[in-house]
Each structure stands twice: as C-alpha cells, then as structure tokens.
Chain A
Amino acid sequence: MRTCFCILLYSIAVCTFAEPSQTLLEELSQRLVGASGLQGNFQQEKNLAFLQKPFTSSGQFSLDRSSGLWWKVVSPVESVMLVRGQNVLLDGKPVQDHGIGSLMAMMMLDLMEGQLTSISKYFTVTGELSERVWHLSLEPVSSRLKSIVDHIDLQGDNYLREIVIYEHGDNRTVILFTEVRSIGVGATGPDSAAP
C-alpha cells in the first residue's frame, strides 16, 4: 500500500515538474513577448576563490536578428562586444569566441522572438511554468557544447531576466537583466536602436 502511494506521488511529481520539453517550449513561446528587437541593462557576476571580490561587470545590451547582439560593458572597464552570426568582435576587432558569445546570442534571440527552435535543437530542456515566471534548465546534447558548459539555467517572465551558466567544476556566472524593453516596429517602450 505504502509502495503504491509512493509510486503515485512520484508520478504526480514527474508529471508536474518534468513536463515534456516540447509542450513546455510551446507554452513558453506563447507567454514570451515576441519582438523584433530588445534592449536593456545587465549585471554579470562571477565568484572565484583567489579573487578578493566577485568578478562583476555591468552595462547595456541590444538585440535584433539583423544587427545581432550588442553588449556594452560600462563598469568596471568599457568594452563593446558584437555578435553577428559566427562573427564576434570586441571593440571592433575580431576575437576568439570559445563558444560563449554565439551561444548567448542564439539563446537570447530565440527567447526574444518566442521561437525556441535553436534551443530545442542543441539542448535537452526541462523546467516549469508558473503563473508569473518560468524557469528552464538546458543541458547540452552535443559533446562540443558539453565541453564549454555543464548546464544553463534561464529564468524570466515576459522577457528573459536571468542566465546562470554552470561551468565544469564549481564555477558559475550569473547574468541579470533589468529594464528590458522591446524596440522596433510595434514595440512598447523607447525606440532607441543600438549604436
């Protein structure tokens, strides 16, 4: 009797918290505000044992399909990263990406447009949707992506609000997005385009 009850509880838990990823992504894509462009502020933080303080940076970002991801670090030192397809520039010069820049651009573009095809192509997705917020956990399927990250957690409401990148070992990087607004035709909020 006790065994049957446990099995029943487990089944309910599985059904509630580990929804089939396809249904999850479909529901999420309906919740997200589909926009042709986004902009906002970010704060990135990384904790390392040999540093006195966390490795922190903050700045602004802008995103659309044609221009790519524009990422301006304002503090502690100014720099501008631009990711357009496979091309990655830092302060106007090409740099070695190591996979992170284009990965972030791909995820953010998918979530911006509400079309989650790339995410489903490269990751095994689990998560949950509640009334106001959603939470996804992405595990890479290819060995190439697995060599870069262990897994990635995403969180948001109408927009993406947080990315947590878990690397191998105990290192993780947390990126928070604030004042996120749509830009371009039909967008709500200021129309300022990326410089």
Chain B
Amino acid sequence: MRRRSKISAVSLWIIIVAGVMLLIINRWPQGQWLKTDFYSLLPSGSDNTWLVRASALAASAYESQLLLMVEGNDGAEVSQFLEAAGDRLLREGYVYSRLEESETKKWRILSERLYPHRWNLLYVGDRESLQKNPVAHLEQFRRQLYSPLGIALIGKLQSDPAGFYRNYLEAAMPSEATASRAAANGDKAVEFAAYLVSPQQQGFGGTNDLYATYLSLRAEAEEAGLKLHATGVPLYSAFGVHSAASEISTIGTASLVLSMLLLIVVLRSTAAIFLTIFCAAIGVAGGLLITVSILQQIHIITLVFGSTIIGVADDYGFHYLSHSLAPDWTRKDALKKVWRGLSLAALSSVVAFLGLTLLPFPGIRQIGIFMAGGILCSFATVCILFPVMYRGAGTGARLPRFFVRQQFTIRTVIPTLLLLCAVVIPGLMMLQSQDDVREFYAVSNMLKDDQVAISSTLSVTPNSRYLLVRGHGIEDLLETEERLMNAADELVERGQAIGLSGVTRLIPSTATQQQNFSLMRRLVESGYLGTYLNALDMDSSFQMDLLASVPKEFRAMGLDVLKDIAMPLGTGGFLGCEGGECASWVRVSGSSSSQALAELIGNDPSVILVDPIADINGLLAHYRVGISKLLIAGGVATAMHLMVILGWRLALQILLIPTVSCLGSLALIGYIHSSYSIVNLLALLLLIGVSLDTAIFRVSTDSVDQPATSLAITLSALTTILAFGILAFSQTPVISAFGQSIVFGLIVTYCLSWVRFDLKV
C-alpha cells in the first residue's frame, strides 16, 4: 500500500478519534462520574438523594468493624490471647483502633457538647416519673445511691446530682453499641473485642491478607486450647479478595498466555497480536468514554460487565485477520472482502444493544450504550487502521487444513437438532429465578460458623434495616421522629423486640426541650431539688451554686450542637435540608418483623422503611425481568432489521444460532443449578453479540472464503472461552455463573456455526 494512503488512513483515524475526544471532553462531567453505590442504579426519584446519603452512613457503621470472640476455660488466658491478637492486628496495620476506645471518645465528646444544655434533656422515664410525683422520684434515686448500685453513681453527683443527665445519655446509647464485654457461656469464659479496620485494608485496595492472618490466629488459639471466632464486613471482603486474587493470578495468566500462543501459532504475526489487543482496548475505552459523556456517570458494575465487550470487539479483528490466510488475499482488497459481514454484524449488534436503553434502569442503559459505543469504536478501528497497519500473515502461516472441510448440511444435522430440542426443553422448565444478592458472593464455611457462634453468644440479630424520615423543616422532622420513637417505646412495653435510634434520642424537638426545662424549673422553684440535695448532706455553698446554675429562661438547643463531631455508631443521624425538605435516618435494631415495623410506620408518608438487602434483591429481580423482556424485544428488533436488509429466510437463519445458543446455555444452567439470575442473562448479552457475529460472518462470506471464516469463528470462540469461560471454575458464585453461561452457549454457537443452510447473501 502506498505510503501516502497509509498516512491518510492513520491521519483519518487520528482525526476521528480527536474529534470524538473533543466532543467527549466538552461533555465530561465535573464531579464524581464513577458510581459505586447501589442506589444510583435505581430509576431517579426524589427519595434517591436521601437514600444514597442514609445508606452510606448506615453502611459505614459496620463496614470497617472487625469483631473477635475468644472462648476458653481460663478467663485470664482468654483475656491474654485476645489482647495479643489485637496487638498483632494493630502492629501489622490491619486495624488502627479498638472500637471501644473510639466509641468512648466519641461519647465523651458528645457528652461534653450536650452538657451545657442538660436542663433541656430528660430521659422519657424520668420525665414521666417527675410529672407524676417528683418527690417520690428523687427519693427513689436517693435510695439507689445508698445501695451498692450507687457506687457507680456517687462519683458523678457533683456534676449530675439527680442522675438525670446520666440516664438521658444511657437511654440515647444504642443497646448493641459496645462490643467489648465478657460473657458467661456455661462454664467457659468468653471475651469480645471489636476493632476498626484501616481503610487501606478494605476491599481490593488492601495490600495485605487479613484473611490469612485470621487463619493464623485461629490456629494459634487452637494450639493454646482456646477458640477464636471472627466476623465483620472487612473479613468477608478479605476472603473474597483472597480467593479472587488466587483465581486472577492463575486463571487470568493462563488464559492470557494461551490466547497469545494461539494467535502466534496461527497468524505468526506480532502486528496481528498488537492490532487485536489494540482493537479490544479501543472498544473498552471507547465504550467507557461515550457512556460517561452521554449519561454523565457510569456504575462500577457496568464497567465490569461492559468490559466483556472484549469478547465481541475482537471478533471483527479476527474476521479481518483470518481472511489474510486465504491464498488470494491482497492488502488492497482485504477490507472489501469482509466489509459486508463486518458492517452487518456491527450494525446488528449496535441495534440490539441500543434496545437496552429503552428500559428505565440506569444500569441497563449504561450497559447498552457501553456495548454499542464500544462495538462502533472497534469496528472503526478495524476498518480504518487494520488495512494500513497489517501487511499480512507471517512467513509460513497458512490456513489449517481442518478449516477447509465442508460444513454439515442442515439435513444431516436435523436429528441432532431435534435431540437438542428434546434436551433443552426440560432444562428450561427446571429454571427458577434467584435474586438474592447474598448468594452471589463466596463465604467460607469457617466464617459462616463464626458468625453463628458470635450471634448466638451475643444474642444479637444482624439488622441492616433503617427508617428514612423526612419533614418540612427541622422542627417538623424532629417531631415526626419523636412520634416514631414514642410509638416504638410503646411496642417495647407490649413485648415487641424493637429498638430505634435516631437523632432525637440526642436532640429532642423544641417542644420536648421546653417541656423538660419547665419540669426542671419547677423542681427548683418548688424546693424539691433543694430538699433532695439537703437530704444528701451536700455542702450548702455547693447546693446554692447548683440551684443558681439552672437557667431562668428557656433556650432551645439546635442540631448545630452536633456540627463537626463524629457521631457514635448506631445513633442514626441528621442528613441535612434541601429544597425545603429535611431528612434523617433512624437505625432499627432487634428482631422485629417487617410487619411490626410497617404497623409502627402506619400510613405516614414521611417515613420509609429501608431494607437494603431486600431493596437490592428487588432491584435485581426488576433488572432480571427487564433484561428478559429486552432480550426478546431486541431479538425481534434485530430480526426485523435483518429481514429488511436480507429477507426473511436469511434473517431467520442468522437468528437461529444466537437463539439456540441462549436457550441451550439456559437449559444447561437449569440442569446444573436449577436456578438462574440476572448474571446469567448479562452473560447472554455477550453470547448474543458473539453468536450474531458468527452467524452474519457465515452467511455473508462466499463459499471460497468459508475456510477463513471458519478460522475466524474458531479463534473467536477459543479466545472468548479462554478469557471468560474459564471463570466457570471460580469459587465466587456470581463469577462462575457468568462463566458457565458463556462457555455453554459458545459451545452450542460453535457447533451450529458448522451447519450450512444453503442460503447466501
């Protein structure tokens, strides 16, 4: 090819890329464009802003906690081992603080902030008792002081003579807040300690293996005759990273090396390998940039699944490169030979994937645009760059004789196809949907057992639910939350195991503060408080100072008191005010059913029960149903598009392969797992892309070039199986489901690609 036309083609590609980049830069979002939270996958609505904030705060309470429990016969040994385990975790940088120390510090700071306003703060039990009979209430407290129970209270008499402030803070403290305690478990001594895991050690950013350290500590405990149990989100993540890392390093390396070897052996051209990799990379990068510039954001899940576009993008490169092994190949006519197949395949795939944008789910729209955009970029790269950059196959490279063989006619494979139908139908009938996100990730049996042991010893029911409360202004919000708290307290008195912790446990509404203050003033003015202090034989000057310190005028305490301090765990929190609406989140604890909580909320539209796991599962179910419908609708749209271009016979011939491949894949999943989830359907998106390309390449190639197309199809199938199908062996259920769906479907696609229908474009 002449040097001038080569430079022109490369320049054209660069100009196109530069032009697209300019458009993208112009539209690029200013803020955070990579989303990781679950709620950004939801259709937009006014609740979303509050839900995103509340979910982040609710999750942060536990996502960095690591809980250790040690049990044994000797309390001193148990305590020493636990301390040594904690020291090791601190020394090796996995944790940075004991939870108890961190929480004690937070409560101390909070207590100091609220103390100047103590005359506005009364525990509801104290308030009711003071309203009924203040003398009896104060006398009851005095009796408590003289009993052994008073030993812990007497030291604080100077700052809190009637125990009101202490009772208020204790009531505000969530019942499960502290995790450091000693418990009696039969004859065994049991101790707990909770730690905060360093952010650097969480998730894939962690550089050291927390899970391996946990195993090591367990072994040490066993040698010492003790038992160590551990639980916490960071440990579960560490297990996931631990198992994924080993899979990535062995499986990923093996598949990459095998793919490269395959290309080297067949094409014997380093340019071919470079161009194939470059084409796939352009597909991924193009998909990402186009999606973000159009939709202003992309979710990490879209990025992960969208990257499977590699399996489709390299098809175009393989089709072009494989034809270079044909005896009559020339560089000048190379593109012309494959143009029809490439363009039809690209167009059909883009139409199919753009159909996903019709659904109202941001995640599915993003996948649709990512795939369509990426395919167009790869297609453009093959059409513009490959003709100028690729000179042909290396010396000695030739089309393997295997691919010169004739294809099977449809008549000879009809019995096989009928048998296939007989096998597929029962498999499909065995399928049941599975939308529980907890089934997606791997958890070791050891961690599961530890969780059960800790939960039963602590008598704690894990609860990720919370209430989202909204109001027209701060006061309305606080009063709504207080009504909720009062209703919950009544349910507790009726025997329901329900606990609510919200910002009003710390900062009551102005009306409640006024009520409390009035009660305090009445205690002073009536002389009851003075009489009580006298009965305690308190110094007279101390008495006078104390009574004078009670303010004469009421002054409300606002939420700004909590400004710039870290809230203790489990206290719920204020989310802010926007557009005339204020919101807060209220933590739910206890084993209360959703029905009990629904009864608590009643018909109040300003309160929503949020169950993150149920919400995620519900969303997965919606997405699954949406993708199922879209797969069918996309198939119909592609069929109509192909019918218009090629006629109905060829269109049906083309669609036979992706249809049978998808059904075959699902049927095999049905036989093996009896259930399918959204992950299987997302795998079908990739499968459809590859199998549609396979079918189009087949029907759009002349008989003399069919062997080259057979090679291209084989290379595509083998590299895609190596890259993704090998994931079928992963220990992580979500990854193995994805891999199994792809490999089963690709095997069916490849087998069907050898069937000749005697119809040509």
Contact = CB atoms under 8 A, between A and B. Distances in A.
Interface of A: 44, 46, 48, 50-53, 55, 57, 71, 73, 76-79, 81, 88, 90-91, 95-101, 104, 120-122, 124, 141-145, 148, 165, 167, 169, 171, 173, 175
Contacts, number: 107
B112 interface: no
Given A51-B536, A52-B537, A145-B182, A95 B144 contact: yes
The winner among A79, A99, A173 for most chain B CB atoms within 10 A is: A79
A51 B539 contact: yes
Interface residues of B, number: 37
B74 A121 contact: yes
A171 B193 CA distance: 28
A122 B152 contact: no
A122 B149 contact: no
B154 interface: yes
Given A51-B538, A52-B537, A52-B538, A122 B148 contact: no
A165 B626 CA distance: 68
A90 B143 contact: yes
Contacts of A79: 143-144, 146-147
Given A48-B157, A91-B143, A141-B75, 4 more contacts: A57-B146, A95-B144, A96-B170, A104-B148
Contacts of B315: none
A88 B149 contact: yes
A100 B152 contact: yes
B142 A98 contact: no
Contacts of A121: 74-75, 189
A90 B149 CA distance: 9
A144 B154 contact: no
A13 to B, nearest CB: 23
B191 interface: yes
Contacts of A96: 170
Contacts of B193: 143
B79 A173 contact: no
Contacts of B142: 77
Given A51-B536, A52-B538, A142-B182, A73 B149 contact: no
A109 B396 CA distance: 94
B712 to A, nearest CB: 68
B155 interface: yes
Nearest to B98: A143
Contact of B180 (A77, A88, A104, A144): A144
A90 B75 contact: no
Contacts of B180: 143-144
A124 B148 contact: no
A81 B148 contact: yes
A141 B148 contact: no
A44 B149 CA distance: 12
B643 to A, nearest CB: 75
Contact of B147 (A48, A81, A145): A81
13 contacts: A48-B157, A51-B536, A55-B150, A55-B154, A71-B147, A90-B140, A91-B143, A95-B149, A98-B152, A141-B75, A142-B79, A143-B193, A148-B152
A48 B536 CA distance: 12
Interface in B516-555: 535-539, 542
Contacts of B151: 46, 100, 165, 167, 173
Contacts of A88: 149
A98 B148 CA distance: 10
A6 B153 CA distance: 46
Nearest to B191: A142
Contacts of B149: 81, 88, 90, 95, 97-98, 100-101
A123 B340 CA distance: 85
A73 B538 contact: no
A91 B537 CA distance: 23
B414 interface: no
B676 to A, nearest CB: 49
B536 A90 contact: no
Contacts of B148: 44, 71, 81, 100-101, 104, 175
B181 interface: yes
A141 B76 contact: yes
B139 interface: yes
A99 B182 contact: no
Contacts of A50: 157-158, 538-539, 542
- Give me the 3 closest cross-chain CB pairs, A-B, nearest first: A79-B143, A121-B75, A57-B146
Contact of A73 (B76, B143, B191): B143
B145 interface: yes
Interface string B96-127: 00001000000000000000000000000000
Interface in B490-522: none
A171 B100 CA distance: 24
Contacts of B181: 142, 144
Contacts of B157: 48, 50
Nearest to A76: B146
Contacts of A77: 139, 142-143, 146, 535
Contacts of A48: 154-155, 157-158
Contacts of A169: 155
A9 B481 CA distance: 69
Contacts of A144: 180-182
Contacts of B155: 48, 167, 169, 171
A73 B146 contact: yes
A95 B125 CA distance: 12
A94 B263 CA distance: 78
Contacts of A120: 75-76
Q: By CB atoms of chain A within 10 A, which of B147, B148, B181, B542 has the most?
A: B148
A55 B144 contact: no
B211 to A, nearest CB: 26
A95 B100 CA distance: 24
A145 B183 CA distance: 11
B537 A90 contact: no
B237 to A, nearest CB: 27
A95 B146 CA distance: 14
A90 B147 contact: yes
A184 B65 CA distance: 50
Contacts of B80: 141
Contacts of B538: 50-52
A180 to B, nearest CB: 17
B154 A46 contact: yes
A180 B193 CA distance: 40
Nearest to A81: B147
A187 B145 CA distance: 33
B136 to A, nearest CB: 11
Contacts of A145: 182
A48 B542 CA distance: 13
B537 A53 contact: yes
A124 B142 CA distance: 34
Nearest to A49: B158
A77 B150 CA distance: 13
A163 B361 CA distance: 69
Contacts of B75: 120-122, 141-142
B28 to A, nearest CB: 52
A167 B536 CA distance: 21
